[in-house]
Each structure stands twice: as structure tokens, then as C-alpha cells.
Amino acid sequence: MNSSDSEEDSYNERSALVQSESPTIPSYNQDHDMSLPEETDTKRRRPVSSGLDEPVPVLVERERVATPDGEEEELTLKYGAKHVIMLFIPVTLCMVVVVATIKSVSFYTEKSGQRLIYTPFEEDPNSVGQRLLNSFLNTIVMISVIVFMTIILVVLYKYRCYKFIQGWLILSSLMLLFWFSFMYLGEVFKTYNVAMDYPTLVMIIWNFGVVGMICIHWKGPLRLQQAYLIVISALMALIFIKYLPEWSAWVILGAISIYDLIAVLCPKGPLRMLVETAQERNEPIFPALIYSSAMVWMVGMADVSNPGSADERQRGGGGARAQEGVESEDDVAQGVSRRYSAEEDLEEDRGIKLGLGDFIFYSVLVGKAAATGGDWNTTLACFVAILIGLCLTLLLLAIFKKALPALPISITFGLVFYFSTDNLVRPFMDSLASHQYYI
Amino acid sequence: MTLAVFFGCAFIAFGPAFSLFVFTIVKDPLRIIILIAGAFFWLLSLLLSSLVWFIAVKACNGVQDPTLHRALLIFGVFFSVLLQEVFRFAYYRLLRKANEGLASISDEDGLDISVRQMAYVAGLGFGIMSGAFSMINILSDSLGPGTVGIFGDSQYYFVTAALMTLALTLLHTFWGVVFFEGCEKSRWWVIAAVVALHLLVAGLSLLNPLYEASLPPVYGITLLMAVWAFFSSGGSLHNLNTLCTRRKAEEESAQ
């Protein structure tokens, strides 16, 4: 199967780790008095609600609260652990779905000989040197495609072709929600020998797909949207696991984390430019690319008293709210969409967002660890390594307070643990188990 | 075999650890992070000890002789135990540093997690990871077709593996509590005792498949450690007494 471009884009665009904005903590009541300082705070606190179409993971700084430093630090720490868990759960769920599928449905581990057009070189299992060379060439092709797409997206974003980007995103999520889930369901039915008729299947897929499109691109309950985003990340990861050749997959994982590092941290990196452009324009990110753990902002609650805070909150709010995209900027200026009381905001607003590309690549790593060999220890080790990497990345975010890439640390840990557990720990544990020695 | 053995052994091995997790760890995000970091540290220790074992095996030219293989494995076991304790100490130092760092930069009194709680969570992390690594492959094998002990080995492989895993998980938890307490109070004999007990338990497991000689002593040590950990973390007979009488008083007042 030669996948279409939109599939490539969808994973390109889906990697970003973004933090939603936090409210002005000192303004516990939304009075007229507070609006002025808030507006200045808004400008100061411009978070990097960035990258509509960020091809690579970017961790965006959390908004600085306009309070004395001690309180700010404490708030960061107090909310730090909660955010880590808010990301652990969806990442774990995605990985569990992928591993469960890989272990039960054999379709995704069968090598059919078909490849994506992005990895044109065939891996010859006979000669190690040739195989290595081909995997590096495949990686170069894949990464260049990604870089090319990123640049196109940056250009599109710079010239404000939002409709084009949105159309592109809708097309790619259409394909994921209908075609790939149809394939997935078909394979699951085959594995468990379930008889299914086409009318029922059409009804199921139709409902699933349409609700998914609505939830992701328009409005919907937060949990449902999160669930759909996890499911499409898992589907995407499964496609990669099936169609990427063995060695190329590992090299691509390594290369993409290096690319992520460069693209986000270098001054001329495409992602950094994207982030800065979005920052200047104060625009929200398209929700089809970002998983948001924050509360959904309510639409239609007019609160004219705080146009400034409403503005920044609307920007901060991920979830279903932000699909309004550019048009809602005007609404916001009129002070639409205000939220509940500030006390609730304290807890809910400090949501955190993670790009779907991060989910996808984490799941690819763990899925491949589960696919190659029957060893569960390797899978478990990679899982723990990725979670610790994510934890460290968020810790660095809390310390440095600037945009950071989310892939490198986790993928590095994951790769190190995969190869070392597979080659070193596995024989040791197997010998111990056969003698029933316990350490 | 199959499902009955799978579920039975899974619940034996992971039941207590899972319930401890659900009742004490799940609600607090900081504890979950400390747990997973503890698991990570155990994993690191395992990695390093496997590396050393692997190098030793390769150095002896890919052992054909079974006695040498066993001897190297036993060396690997003891070295791994020592390394696990080293990493436990390292984790203790990391947690203390994190505690101090966070306490110094916040206005309030640091985190609302005490060193004792961290000790318990760290020990549980070590225990869960150790249990998972010992048991998961065996559990997945127990699902599939096969005959236990077809080459003359013991029939009770799965159950004893599960029981041993349970003992080790609990032991790691108790050792964590006692170890951290020993480090806090700078009682080095406590640390030495924990290391010695761990070595003893590993040594006892070397007696397998003579399960009568390995399992009861290990459970005896587990009980001993439970009592020690209880008293070390601030429990006392008085506390127990108050707990029981308070419960009785509550019941009486409720009637």
C-alpha cells in the first residue's frame, strides 16, 4: 500500500508538546479593576500557543504567572506532578492499545513486502552492510520528506492560508477515522473469527468516523475528544509498525528525535519560526494535531469585563474550542467565552498539551519492542523508559521555561533500553528463570 | 493449565502490590512519579548487572560447561543484589536532594510528602518492577499450550514462581522503608542488615527446586521484615492498641 500524502502530513503535523496558558493567578475575581494589569500580563505572558502544523514535538513554555517569584515557583511545582500524570495516562493508554493489538492481531506484524513510498529502499536480510546502508538511505528520504512538509507548512502558515491547512487536516483525519479504522476492525474480526455483515459494519464505521470528525474538528466533550485522539495516534502508529522496514524504523526513530532537537532549539529551525510566528499572532493551535488535557472552554458566556483575560484564555484553551481558529479571534476581542470562577480556573486551566506526533512515535517504539520477539520484559522496559523521559522533559520545561522538544529524551532512553534489554537482560533473566533463581 | 493458572498466579504474584498501588499511590501524582522513577532505578541496576554477567560469560568463551555456567549465574545473582542495593542508596540520595531543592525554593514547607512516604513508595517501585520482570514472561508462557515439567522438572513451577515473586515484592517494599530510615538516622548497621538479608534471600532461591527449603524461610524473613518496617516507620504496639480501641469506640458510638 502506498500511503497518500495526507497520511504523511498528519503525522508530520501532529508532533508538538504545548502548554495551555494559565490564568492570572492574583485576579481571583474578574473585576474591571483587574482588566488592565491583565492585559499587560497577557502580552507578557504570551505563551507559545504555537504550531498549528508543527511537524515535530515542541514543548512550549508554561505561562508565567504574574505573582512574586516564590509563589510562581511553588505553583509550578504544585502543578508539575499533576501535569506529568495528565500526560502519563494518555501516553500509557495509547501504548497499551498498540501493544495489545500487536500481540493479538497478527496482521500488523506480518511483513507483506509492501512499503511506503517514503522508504523506497528494500532491506535485504542477507547482507548486513547492504541492509544498514539501505536503512540509512530510507531514513534520509523520510526525514527529507518531513523537512519539506514542515517548510511548506511554515510557508502556508506565514501567508495565512488557514483554509488550506484546515482542509488538509480534515482530509487526513477523514482517512484515519474511516479508512484505517475500517482496516483495523476488519483485521480484529478476522483474528477473533467474528462474523460481521457489511450493513452493520458500515453503520459502525460511519458513526465512529462522523462523531470523531465532529469531536476533533469542532466541538465535543473533552474526554471523547481525548479518546479519539488517542485512537487515531494508535492507528497511525500501527500503520508505521506494519509498513516501515525493520532496521529503517529504528534509524528513523533516532533520526527524528535529532531532527526534533535541531528544529526546535536552533534559531533558524522551522519549528522555532513557526512557534514565534504563532506567538506574534496569538493564535491557537489546530486541535486535530494536539492532545489537550485542559478543560474545554465554554462558548457563549459573554464576559465583557475582561477582554484581555478572555483573549488569553481562549488562546490557551485547547480542546474543542480552538477549532474556531482564526475567526474566533474577532469573537474574543468582543469578550466572548468566559469561564467559571477563578477558583476552578486555578485547577483546570493549567492544562497541558502534547502533540500527536509524540504519541505516535512513543507508541511506534513500544509497539516495535512488542512485535520483535516474544519478550514482555523488553516492552515493559521501553515503556518505563519512555515515561521517565517524558517526566524529565517536563521537569526541564519547568526549569527552563522555554520551548523544548518532547521526543529526544524519551526516544533516546527508549532505544537504549530496547537494545540493552533485548541483548543483555533477556539472556540473563531467561537463565535465572530456568533455574528459578531470584535476584 | 492456561487461564486458571494464568489468573491464579497473576493474582498471587501481583495482588497485594496492585492493591497497595490502588489504595495508596493512585490518588497522589507525586507518588506515581516516585514509583515509576523507583522502577526505573531498579531497571538500571538490572541493566548494569546483566552487562557485567554478559561480559563475564563472553570472557569465558561462551560457556559450554554447565557447572561453569551455573557458577557464573550465581556470581551474576549476587552481583545483581549488591548493585540493586547500591541503586537503592542512589535513589535515596536523589530523593533527598529533590526534597531539599524543592523545599528551598518554595515558600512553604517543601512538598507534602515525607521521607517515610517516599521510602515506602520507592520500595514499592523496586518491588513491582522486580516482580514484573521475574513473572511476566512466565505468566505469558502459562497461557499457552505446554506441559509443566516435561523433562522431569517440578510440577509446581508456576505456583512457586508466583509465591516467590510475591515475597520479593513485599520484601523490596519493607527493605525500602527500613533502608531509608537507616540512611536518615545514619545507622549503617541497618543498611548492612538489609543488604545481608537480600543476599540471604537470593541465596535461598538458589536452593530451588527444593521448594521446602527455599519458600518457608523466605516467607519467614518477609514476616520479620514486615514487623521491622512497621516499627521502623513509627508504628508501635501503642498505636495498634489505639487503632483497635478507637475502632471499637467508633463502633460503639455509632450504635
Give the pLDDT score at B62. 64
- Please judge whether B73 and A431 are an interchain contact, meaning their C-beta atoms are less than 8 angstroms apart: yes
Interface test mutation site (partner A, options B81, B105, B143, max chain A beta carbons within 10 A)? B105
Rounded to the nearest angstrom, the minimum Cα separation between B143 and chain A is 13
Question: Least CB-CB distance to A381: which of B43, B74, B102?
Answer: B43
Question: Least CB-CB distance to A424: which of B36, B50, B107?
Answer: B50
For residue A13, the one-letter residue type is: E
pLDDT tens-digit profile of A83-112? Answer: 888 999 999 999 999 999 999 998 988 887
Greater model confidence, A309 or A439: A439
Give the pLDDT score at A47. 33
Question: Which helix (H) or strand (E) covers residue A291, if one does?
Answer: strand A290-292
pLDDT band at B13 (very low <50, low <70, confident <90, very high): very high
Residue A18, strand partner residues: A353
Greater model confidence, B105 or B49: B49
pTM score: 0.81
pLDDT band at A214 (very low <50, low <70, confident <90, very high): very high
Q: What is the mean pLDDT of chain A?
A: 74
Rounded mean pLDDT, B35-49: 96
C-alpha distances (whole Å) from A237 to each of A356, A417, B11 are: 10, 20, 32
Give the pLDDT score at B167. 96
CB pairs under 8 A between A and B: 121
Give the pLDDT score at A344. 39
Give the pLDDT score at B37. 95
Residues of chain B with pLDDT > 90: what percent?
A: 65
Give the pLDDT score at A308. 36
Give the pLDDT score at A326. 35
Rounded to the nearest angstrom, the minimum Cα separation between A391 and chain B is 8
Question: Which helix (H) or strand (E) covers residue B219, if one does?
Answer: helix B211-232
pLDDT tens-digit profile of B174-199? Answer: 999 999 999 999 999 999 999 999 99
Residues of chain A with pLDDT > 70: what percent?
A: 68
Q: Is A197 a catalytic residue?
A: no
Asked if the model's pLDDT at residue A20 lies above 80, the reply is: no
Closest CA relative to residue A283, chosen from A52, A4, A29, A2: A52
How far is the C-alpha of A155 from the C-alpha of A274, rounded, in Å? 9
Question: Least CB-CB distance to B106: which of A74, A387, A391?
Answer: A74
pLDDT band at A246 (very low <50, low <70, confident <90, very high): confident
| Domain count across chain B | 1
pLDDT band at A162 (very low <50, low <70, confident <90, very high): confident
Residue A157 · residue A274 · CB < 8 Å: yes
Rounded mean pLDDT, A192-207: 95
Rounded mean pLDDT, B11-39: 94
Question: Least CB-CB distance to B136: which of A377, A423, A431?
Answer: A377
Residue spans of beta strands (DSSP E) within A38-146? none
pLDDT band at A345 (very low <50, low <70, confident <90, very high): very low
Greater model confidence, B58 or B102: B58
Give the pLDDT score at B43. 96
- Please judge whether A436 and B29 are an interchain contact, meaning their C-beta atoms are less than 8 angstroms apart: no
Q: Give every CB contact of residue A8 below 8 A, 6+ residues apart in sequence.
A: A118, A145, A146, A149
Residue A317: φ, ψ to 5°: -65, 120
C-alpha distances (whole Å) from B99 to each of A161, B91, B96 are: 49, 12, 5
SS3 A193: coil
pLDDT band at A51 (very low <50, low <70, confident <90, very high): very low
Q: Which residues of B touch A376 (CB under 8 A)?
A: 136-137, 140
Residue A352: φ, ψ to 5°: -135, 145
Dihedral sign from CA coordinates of A434, A438, A439, B2: positive
Residues of chain B with pLDDT > 70: what percent?
A: 95
Question: Which helix (H) or strand (E) covers residue A19, if one does?
Answer: strand A17-19
pLDDT tens-digit profile of B108-133? Answer: 544 678 889 999 999 999 999 999 99
Q: Is A9 a catalytic residue?
A: no
Q: How large is the greatest C-alpha to C-alpha distance in chain B, in angstroms?
A: 75
Asked if the model's pLDDT at residue A301 lies above 50, the reply is: no
Give the pLDDT score at B111. 60
Give the pLDDT score at A239. 93
- Please judge whether B132 and A88 are an interchain contact, meaning their C-beta atoms are less than 8 angstroms apart: no
Rounded mean pLDDT, A116-126: 81
Rounded mean pLDDT, A354-374: 90
Residue A117: φ, ψ to 5°: -70, -15
Give the pLDDT score at A242. 92
| Residue B45 structural domain | 2-254
Q: Give every CB contact of residue A416 below 8 A, 6+ residues apart in sequence.
A: A385
DSSP A295: P
Give the pLDDT score at B6. 94
Rounded to the nearest angstrom, the minimum Cα separation between B34 and chain A is 10
Residue A13 · residue A151 · CB < 8 Å: no
| Torsion angle, alpha carbons of A223, A225, A226, A229, to 10 | 160
Asked if the model's pLDDT at residue A5 lies above 90, the reply is: no
Rounded mean pLDDT, A246-271: 90
How far is the C-alpha of A393 from the C-alpha of A80, rounded, in Å? 11
Residue B34 · residue B25 · CB < 8 Å: no
Q: What is the mean pLDDT of chain B?
A: 89
Residue A416 · residue A423 · CB < 8 Å: no
Give the pLDDT score at B105. 54
Give the pLDDT score at A10. 46
Give the pLDDT score at A77. 54
pLDDT band at A235 (very low <50, low <70, confident <90, very high): very high
Asked if the model's pLDDT at residue B202 lies above 60, the reply is: yes
Question: Which helix (H) or strand (E) covers residue A348, if one does?
Answer: helix A342-348
pLDDT band at A428 (very low <50, low <70, confident <90, very high): very high
For residue A85, the one-letter residue type is: I
Asked if the model's pLDDT at residue A272 lies above 80, the reply is: yes
